[in-house]
Chain A
Amino acid sequence: MIRLKYWPLVIKQITRHRVRSVLTILGVAIAMYLFVAIQAMQQGVAQTTEATAADTTLVVYREDRFCPFTSQLPEYYLQQIEAIDGVVSAVPIRVVVNNCRASLDVVTFRGVPRDLFESTIGQNIRFSAGTLGDWQKRSDAALLGETLAARRGLKVGDQFDAAGITVYVAGILESDEPQDQNVAYVHLDFLQQQVDRRLGTVTQFNVKVDDPERLGAVSNEIDELFASAEQPTSTRSEKAFVAQIASDMIELIGFTRYLGWGCLVAVLALVGNAIVLSVQDRIKEHAVLQTLGYPSALIGRLIVTEAAVLGLLGGLLGASAAMLTIRLTHLSFSVDGLSIPIEAGPVLLALGMALSIALGVAAGLVPAVQAARRPIASCFRAV
């Protein structure tokens, strides 16, 4: 944008009105903090609800009952589901949630048959601590999603309880699946015993299909199969369920998008205000520079750079503070045992920074063009 030798001029101008610059940078930082936090929620929603081409998992629930408390299906459906053409594998899951309402601190127990775990859910996870063998050995063993483990400060060997169930931490797992983040995988029979002794009843089946193209066909086939059974089913992709069950919250989060845009406008206004003031203070100084032979385009670029630096510093401060908060608190929204994680990665940080620089440049443009166009001689008379 400008040559290295002109940078000291820009820096000196920014440090000239220290309080004003600091306030501007703080304002930008707060706005960008909010923007990044909002963006992280939006991304969480997109990640949990927007189907991607690679999705091949269907979830079978009891028809019309999507809360873990009310969806009850017989475990023996498993054999019939597995027999359907296109189904790679299926796993019965019993879900118990410590808090069925919308909540930020949720623990979702998922009871899975000990011998089915590896061939189904085990395909999508990595162990960051503990092993599958450790989990299989103990009947009260649990594998924790990393977000849950980090939020509760749990490590292998610890015991913890939630929803009246006490488990032993046998492993911590990493997964790209949002729904694995707040989960504690336990043995199915253990969970059934602990909760209501109703062996043979599960909440849902997770079904892996061989081809994403066939998701619709397979789900129809499952629902038709049990249509006239005592417990009819409703089968959809996991993300479609999340979108339906958490629709209120998703709508609310969707609305925060406008707040995010408001933050960007605030950045524009803050930097714009600071630059307009600083340029007005310096009308004569810019005329002096032009008298010395500085081309108007260079004057304009110096001003735009100043604005961009204010934006950059504010953006850096705000976006990295937001990242830090999100990383340290491991927050996620949960409804009915389904989680919408709030996640911020380097891409979001880069986006926040790029936007604040771009907004800085945009805010500096008008004052820069005005300063560059002002007739030089009349600037000396103005004061």
Chain B
Amino acid sequence: MAMIECRQLSKTYRKGASIIKPLDSLDLDVEQGSFLALMGPSGSGKTTLLNLIAGIDQPTSGSLTIAGQNIAALSRSKLASWRAKHVGYVFQLYNLVPVLTAYENVELPMLLHPLSRKQRHERVGTALSLVGLADRHDHYPRQLSGGQEQRVAIARAIVTDPQIIVADEPTGDLDKPSAHAVMSLLVRLNQELGKTLIMVTHDAATAEHAGLTLHLDKGQLVEQSVTAAFSGETATTHADEGGDA
């Protein structure tokens, strides 16, 4: 069974008389340990899909099963503790808490877990070392460059050791060298730590890092491409499997 299974996943908004469908009966399987890039024009539903998988939004219909659990059916509070255990979210604009130091920002998700101060300290230290910012514990976000902020945000996303990392245009706001550093970090998370990684990007070159790129348009999957460097196909649209495409 795939790590993430979307079946007939739909999200609709009603705006007066008109109905907006950011996601339209989407079927998707993502295998554990894969690296998936999502591309598509603005408004095609990429963020919407990512938010559903991250459990911060609820589908209007369909099912979304992650590691055997249908998270579409969870209550708000159950979903919160599910998020704390299973996903890390990396935002385009980092979203660090400005009044907290890098250390404290990374510690935030750890506070939810029953760990001693010392245990938290070790885990936060490890995460910050992994992103190459071991010497920046006491720096506030405003004292860091964009690339460094994003690396702190990645440390925050992985500190609880979730199986799934989602990233919404993680390099969208960065210059080339910083973007490169962030991307190689994400690739390492996928390849060395085996994280399942789903990343939205507008940049084809960035998508090259992923094993598989899916293209969305008007809330539907329109195309998939396997990156040459990767041998095995790690994600499939369910429609393909069913053979009714």
List the interface of chain A (C-beta within 8 A of B): 5-6, 8-9, 12-13, 15-16, 284-285, 287-297, 375-377, 380
Q: Which residue of B lies closest to A292 (CB)?
A: B109
Q: Which residue of B lies closest to A11 (CB)?
A: B99
Q: A291 near B112 (CB under 8 angstroms)?
A: no
Taking the closest CB of chain A, its distance from the CB of B12, in whole angstroms, is 14
CA distance A12 to B81 in the complex (A): 24
Q: Count chain A CB atoms within 10 A of each CB in B48, B104, B112, B160 and give the residue with the most.
A: B112
| Interface membership of B179, Cβ < 8 A | no
CA distance A297 to B77 in the complex (A): 8
How would you classify the secondary structure of chain B's contact residues: helix, strand, loop or mixed? helix
Q: B97 near A285 (CB under 8 angstroms)?
A: yes
| Interface membership of B85, Cβ < 8 A | yes
B80 CB contact (under 8 Å) in A5, A284, A296, A375: A296
A16 CB contact (under 8 Å) in B81, B99, B104: B99
Taking the closest CB of chain A, its distance from the CB of B190, in whole angstroms, is 21
Q: Which residues of A contact B91 (CB under 8 A)?
A: 288, 380
Taking the closest CB of chain A, its distance from the CB of B87, in whole angstroms, is 8
Q: B80 near A290 (CB under 8 angstroms)?
A: yes
Q: B80 near A377 (CB under 8 angstroms)?
A: no
Q: B89 near A294 (CB under 8 angstroms)?
A: no
Q: A12 near B109 (CB under 8 angstroms)?
A: no
Taking the closest CB of chain B, its distance from the CB of A267, in whole angstroms, is 26
Stretch of B49-57, B63-71, B128-136 lying at the A interface: B49-57
Q: B85 near A293 (CB under 8 angstroms)?
A: yes
10 more A-B contacts (CB under 8 A) besides A289-B108, A291-B83, A292-B84? A5-B111, A287-B56, A292-B108, A293-B84, A293-B160, A294-B112, A295-B77, A296-B76, A296-B77, A375-B57
A293 CB contact (under 8 Å) in B48, B80, B99: B80
Q: Which residues of A contact B156 (CB under 8 A)?
A: 292
B87-106 Cβ-contact flags toward A at 8 Å (1 or 0):
00101000101011000100
Given contacts A292-B83, A294-B112, contact A377 B51 (CB under 8 A): yes
Q: A288 near B84 (CB under 8 angstroms)?
A: no
Q: Which residues of B contact A5 (CB under 8 A)?
A: 111, 117
Q: Which residues of A contact B85 (CB under 8 A)?
A: 293
CA distance A258 to B55 in the complex (A): 51
B21-63 Cβ-contact flags toward A at 8 Å (1 or 0):
0000000000000000000000000001001001011000000
Q: Which residues of A contact B99 (CB under 8 A)?
A: 12-13, 15-16
Taking the closest CB of chain B, its distance from the CB of A290, in whole angstroms, is 7
9 A-B pairs with CB atoms under 8 Å apart are A285-B95, A290-B56, A290-B80, A292-B108, A293-B83, A293-B109, A296-B77, A377-B48, A377-B51
A295 CB contact (under 8 Å) in B54, B80, B100, B104: B80
Q: Which residues of A contact B76 (CB under 8 A)?
A: 296
Q: A293 near B112 (CB under 8 angstroms)?
A: yes
CA distance A376 to B77 in the complex (A): 13
Q: B81 near A293 (CB under 8 angstroms)?
A: yes
Taking the closest CB of chain A, its distance from the CB of B188, in whole angstroms, is 22
CA distance A206 to B161 in the complex (A): 83
Taking the closest CB of chain B, its distance from the CB of A305, in whole angstroms, is 14
CA distance A13 to B97 in the complex (A): 10
CA distance A12 to B76 in the complex (A): 27
Q: Which residues of B contact A16 (CB under 8 A)?
A: 99
CA distance A296 to B78 in the complex (A): 11
Taking the closest CB of chain B, its distance from the CB of A295, in whole angstroms, is 4
Taking the closest CB of chain B, its distance from the CB of A279, in whole angstroms, is 14
